[in-house]
Amino acid sequence: MVNVIIKFLKFFIIKYFGTSAVEKMVIILLKELVKRTDSKVDDQIFHAVFHNTKEYSECTECHK
C-alpha cells in the first residue's frame, strides 16, 4: 500500500513540475520572439493570451 502511495506521489510531482516548467519555457520563448519582432499584432496577441500570468505582471499596455 505504501508503495502505491509513493508511486502516485512521485508521478503527480513529476507531472505537475514538468508541466509548470514547460509552461514557463513557452512563455519566456514567446516573450523573446515578440520582443524581436516589430509587429503590433504580435504584441496584442501576446498581451491578450498572457496578460494574467505571473511572468507578465508588469503590463506596459494597460498603463498607457
For the stretch 8-53, pLDDT in tens is: 888 888 887 777 777 888 888 888 888 888 888 877 887 777 777 6
* pTM above threshold 0.85: no
Distances in whole angstroms, Cα of residue 34 to Cα of each of 8, 18, 61:
39, 24, 14
Spatial neighbors of 50 by CB under 8 A, at least 6 apart, are 27, 30, 31, 56
Instruction: Identify the pLDDT of residue 57.
Output: 60
Domain ranges of the chain: 2-56
What nine digits make up the cell of 4? 502505491
